[in-house]
Structure 1
């Protein structure tokens, strides 16, 4: 088999990159280790920055998002028994975020790719990357018991933190930075109306809480928990009681509870790999970086990587500008570290650490300043809606 760009992984970043390149006449093949059903079963957050929304529209995969997604003009911070609203739209020059589940984004991109007839190979096992430091990279994989080879010009590693792409890089060619946080998020998905029209981030002496939504009748709630929390010990009733305890009384009274349809515990970490380009292999999204979900940046950072690689590849094939691919890592990392900073800051601001009372007072002072000062609110808004994508030129 031959293609121009081999894409490893059929999550949102791989599918989005493939769709954008296909629409520019650039041939792609997507290899995915799991089945389509498995990929679609992964429940993830879905707060989309304007840049991601625009890319989905360019990829001709936005029809359902535009019809069913929820545009949010603001976000709320709860602390000290009260709630303060950040006017995202008013403070960022008119930018907003779109609440639309990552699973639905993936489903829409899969449907868009199927409509084009572009090749996606699911349940491709034993994927191995070869010769990516040469001008003739190739990928081998096993499908239906037979070993196959895919020759290509470039490889895009969109296969996540645990994928084969980053693991294929020589250890002395890559440097990683990591911070693992001493707590996790216990999350519940329920078929209940959201308690608020906008997301609520709560700082409370009992720990962090987040009220979010997937749709008008599907809500996602989280509470901070120890890393060794036993999920079996958390009944729905216990979860709702704890969530209410961490919210202002008025918000807790308005909370509609119901049976959970999904419950899980997610650890939190910050992670960056440098560089992101190795010969003709490019790491994209979670393969290169992870952020704690507090700032809603994970999927959006993957989108900005896709934007950069898409335009560099497009100009390489259409204009002969192969020099732009050399800038891929540098351009991506500038935005990545800023988003890492914001996610780290939000996590540090809102969670309960095993610190002293001085640290807790500092959290309260930060919350007071950033929500009461126009400069502070503007800083939150411009980061939350997403910093601009850097031009690839």
Structure 2
């Protein structure tokens, strides 16, 4: 068995693992990435596309912002449509100048992979991890295979950035972790097409036929979603059927100017809310989907992973700068405060904008009538609109505390 040494072993080469690796590299903290899939598979995954300012600033700190600043589309607001009637939520005005940026996760991954390759850091692809050793009395170890040959990495810390189905979370004993979950009775059918976006800002549509979202990836590439039952199969949805249904759920103005075309990618994603507590055990830290999943309605999934990275980057930088071992124990509490806030907002947006069909088909449920009333209140109240905007653009990242002082933040800062 080949044995390698590093300070931080990062399991998973998605955006969170790559971003953490690049930030640590900038601080001179050696790290190795181990990824079970091929580099091409990681690169080709199509996921989220809305970045909070905090995420953008992390990419700037990592030195990976050049293409984002050239190609990213800055959004100053969003639209919320209720049965075809649009309301504009002016994010910039309501949050004292904050914005979100449309830049696909595929592009973020490409930029981070290129930066890691240019810095000649060590990465293993097509290398499934089969065991994690995480004892407080000894060095942590990650065991994996590549090309049929066994390897192990001895390290100070392990960052589990390997998603919901990875090995990191199950390696925490069941009597230590608690998992919270809600499964929603519907999913999102997504379609990607090289057609001009129907609007220069996102449109969240609440409709009696079900939720829809008009999004984008660039000025020439659109991303659209439809709420569908969990029993639906993507094979049952031709492009023509998708476009026809989308037109019915969009506001009339956008439906009239919608340009259609062949799909590049089409898939159905089930919706769930999930949180694992704690997010650290001994020398293992859970990051992103390994610890939590949110419905995509509030655009929080990728951004929440980035805030985990910000917190882990802070505590590890502080530790390697000379802080006592106790400084890293803040990680889980700092992350979970933000996680539960994002879970609440994503659950709220999902509850407000989707049709749950909880009673007979010809009768709206009491719960849905309450959701209608609440959404009406928020969209016609400046304070309500402000609350939506503040949550949507993302709250500031929490700074870690020095172990010598309960008040003064440590000098290692991550901009919000």
Structure 2 CA distance, aligned partners of 1:388 and 1:134? Answer: 36
- Matching residue within 4, 7, 23 for 1:4: 7
Matched residue SS, 2:5: coil
Deviation at 1:324, TM superposition (A): 1.9
Residue aligning to 1:261: 264
> CA contact under 8 A between 2:83 and 2:208: conserved in structure 1?
no
Residue aligning to 2:398: 390
1:205-354 map, 5 Å: 205-354=208-357
186-195 or 348-357, larger mean C-alpha shift: 348-357
- Matching residue within 49, 54, 58 for 1:55: 58
Residue aligning to 2:119: 116
Matched residue SS, 1:171: coil
Deviation at 1:315, TM superposition (A): 0.6
Deviation at 1:81, TM superposition (A): 2.3
Structure 2 CA distance, aligned partners of 1:198 and 1:215? Answer: 11
Residue aligning to 2:150: 147
Deviation at 1:359, TM superposition (A): 2.8
Q: Measured at CA, do residues 330 and 137 of structure 1 come closer, stay the same or move farther in structure 2, by a change above 3 Å?
A: same
The answer to whether the aligner puts 1:78 opposite 2:61 as a matched pair is no
Structure 2 CA distance, aligned partners of 1:164 and 1:360? Answer: 39
- Matching residue within 22, 31, 34 for 1:31: 34
Q: Measured at CA, do residues 142 and 36 of structure 1 come closer, stay the same or move farther in structure 2, by a change above 3 Å?
A: same
The answer to whether the aligner puts 1:362 opposite 2:374 as a matched pair is no
- Matching residue within 178, 181, 184 for 1:181: 184
Deviation at 1:325, TM superposition (A): 0.7
Please give the TM-score of this superposition, normalised by the length of structure 2.
0.93
Deviation at 1:54, TM superposition (A): 0.2
Deviation at 1:126, TM superposition (A): 4.1
Deviation at 1:145, TM superposition (A): 1.3
Deviations 1:190-216 (CA, angstroms, capped at 9, x unpaired):
000000000000000000000000000
Deviation at 1:251, TM superposition (A): 1.3
Residue aligning to 2:410: none
Deviations 1:131-173 (CA, angstroms, capped at 9, x unpaired):
3433311111111211111100000000000001011111111
Deviations 1:70-125 (CA, angstroms, capped at 9, x unpaired):
01000000013210000001101111001000011011000111111111111112
Please give the TM-score of this superposition, normalised by the length of structure 1.
0.98
Deviation at 1:265, TM superposition (A): 0.4
Gaps of 5+ in 2: 359-363, 402-416
Residue aligning to 2:22: 19
The answer to whether the aligner puts 1:170 opposite 2:173 as a matched pair is yes
> CA contact under 8 A between 1:78 and 1:203: conserved in structure 2?
yes
Deviations 1:227-272 (CA, angstroms, capped at 9, x unpaired):
0102212111111110110111111001111111100000000000
Deviation at 1:129, TM superposition (A): 0.6
Matched residue SS, 1:172: coil
What's the C-alpha RMSD, in Å, of the aligned pairs? 1.0
> CA contact under 8 A between 2:186 and 2:228: conserved in structure 1?
yes
Q: Measured at CA, do residues 132 and 198 of structure 1 come closer, stay the same or move farther in structure 2, by a change above 3 Å?
A: farther
Matched residue SS, 2:150: strand
> CA contact under 8 A between 2:83 and 2:205: conserved in structure 1?
no
> CA contact under 8 A between 2:134 and 2:284: conserved in structure 1?
no
> CA contact under 8 A between 1:312 and 1:322: conserved in structure 2?
no
Residue aligning to 1:373: 381
Deviation at 1:392, TM superposition (A): 1.1
Count how many residue pairs are aligned between Structure 1 and Structure 2.
Answer: 393
Deviation at 1:341, TM superposition (A): 0.1
> CA contact under 8 A between 1:12 and 1:102: conserved in structure 2?
yes
> CA contact under 8 A between 2:7 and 2:156: conserved in structure 1?
yes
